[in-house]
Structure 1
Amino acid sequence: MDSRQQFDTPRAACALHCAVAPADLAALAPLRARLRAALADWGLAELADTAELLASELVTNALLHTGAGAVLDAAPTGAGGLLVEVRDEGGGLPAPRSADADATSGRGLLLVEALADRWGVRLRADGKTAWFELRI
């Protein structure tokens, strides 16, 4: 069964909220640091490497493919895991694609699909929310 669920997002109370301005790729390093610190505070430090990578991929996709900013929300789940959501103003559903061996991009959603326990995309009237869940 495909772990990607396009319209079903487990909602958790927002515990970390980060807005990223359009085209501000330099904001990714501080965003990763804030996420890592939050995970340590929540007792989820063992998820930090994977969470940082996947969050960076989703935010980068939002910035590069929408021409707008992005908003990241992250929160621990009741089941000892993490939920990360990235909202943007882009339309349509992103999908993993194959990248040729020499490509420098195109692997982000493949990483999300491979490393997240669950992930998906929810369409909204003003864009979409891509999300992933990691479990200990």
Structure 2
Amino acid sequence: MTRRQESRPTRLHRRLGNADLSAVGEMRAALRDFMRRRGRPQETEVAELLLSELVTNALIHTRNGAVVTVTSAQARLRVEVRDFLTGQEPTPYVPNADDGTHGRGLLLVQSLADSWGVTAQALGKVVWFELDAGIA
């Protein structure tokens, strides 16, 4: 491993405040910087879009903020958004015309991520997605 590779960050971790929707843009910028420093610009647009959807959902539908963790391995990027609301597992659904622009976030995640899921926690849940290197 070269010295340059050693200095590249492999993890981004942030705590977001309750209903702080400005955090969505801030997380997108932090992810963009993280991806640039990791040398994975080909994944940035899809990762930003999916991160935005998950963070927005967590901040709108829960009351205790969220924790975002992004992990980069050689061949995979994993983004996790943890909230602290127990008992509500998000599921994608096809919105009807009356839903406006709401309800499409998890459909985007399902369509664009290489894998995704929901992991229950003792308090809350983690909604995550993964992108394979060079494919997104």
TM-score band w.r.t. shorter chain: 0.7 to 0.9
In the alignment, which of 80, 83, 86 is matched to residue 85 of structure 1? 80
TM-score, normalised to structure 2, is: 0.85
Q: Deviations over 1:68-108 (max 9, x none)?
A: 20111001123x22000000012221100111235121000
Q: Deviations over 1:23-54 (max 9, x none)?
A: 00011111101100100111111111000010
Alignment of 1:1-136 (within 5 A): 15-78=11-74, 80-91=75-86, 92-102=88-98, 103-135=100-132, 136=134
TM-score, normalised to structure 1, is: 0.85
Structure 1, unaligned stretches of length 5 or more? 1-12
Residues matched between the structures, number: 123
Distance 1:70 1:48 in 2: 21
Secondary structure of 1:97's aligned partner:
coil
Give 1 or 2 for the bigger CA radius of gyration. Answer: 2
Identity percentage of aligned residues: 48
The Cα shift of 1:14 comes to: 6.2
**Equivalent residue letter for 1:93:** E
Distance 2:127 2:57 in 1: 10
Query: Per the alignment, do residues 21 and 68 of structure 1 end up closer, same or farther by CA in structure 2, a change over 3 Å counting?
Result: same
Structure 2, unaligned stretches of length 5 or more? 1-8
Query: Per the alignment, do residues 14 and 85 of structure 1 end up closer, same or farther by CA in structure 2, a change over 3 Å counting?
Result: farther
Return the structure number with greater relative CO, CA threshold 8 A, min gap 6: 1
Task: Give every structure 1 segment of 4 or more consecutive aligned residues whose post-TM-superposition deviation is greater than 6 Å.
Answer: none
